[in-house]
Amino acid sequence: MVYAVVLLLSIAQVNAQNFSPKQQLRLDRWGLNHTYLLEQNEANERLLRKILVKDGQRKNNLLLGAGFTGLGLLTFGVGNLIANGGSCGEDEFCENMGGAFLGIPIIVLGILEVGVWVPLFATSFLKKRKRNKMIRELQAQYPNPPEFMLFDSN
């Protein structure tokens, strides 16, 4: 029982934790001095986490869109190969009618998979716009933060 509680507490993400080094680097790259912002107001932590979540969602949408595009092009190509499996001359009877009946639905499926990327990329750009708007609002709220350095100069 005690081990289960310890395991659950170690897995659960506590909101009071500091940002991970990767998250700190991303915030610094956007010009947000997270230590200064956290000292100013505790509500800024929630806003910084929202910004990081929006960026994560944006990256996931881009990755899924690229995956569906590649899979759709592959499916379209395979369906095209199946549908055009044999050459039918003018004097020959085409024996690939089954391949055509099987290949055409696969081609349609490939076209639909390629069509999935459009909303994924569109929402990705919308999430980027929202993330940038939240960053601008936070920077406008605290216009003159002290200078910070990305890396130690030692």
Q: Which residues of the chain have pLDDT under 50?
A: 5-9, 12-16, 152-154
8 A C-beta contact, residue 25 and residue 150 = yes
* Res 146: pLDDT: 65
* Res 62: pLDDT: 92
* Res 36: pLDDT: 86
Helix axes 21-29, 43-83, angle to 10 degrees: 90
* Res 93: pLDDT: 54
8 A C-beta contact, residue 112 and residue 72 = yes
* Res 147: pLDDT: 65
**Domain range list for the chain:** 19-85+93-141
Q: What Cα–Cα distance (Å) separates residue 106 from each residue in 30, 136, 141?
A: 44, 46, 54
* Res 1: pLDDT: 62
The closest alpha carbon to 117, from 154, 78, 62, belongs to 62
* Res 148: pLDDT: 55
Q: Which two tokens stand for residue 62?
A: 């881009």
* pLDDT tens profile 17-45: 588 999 999 988 888 888 888 888 888 89
Angle, CA of 137, 50 and 23, to the nearest 5°: 100
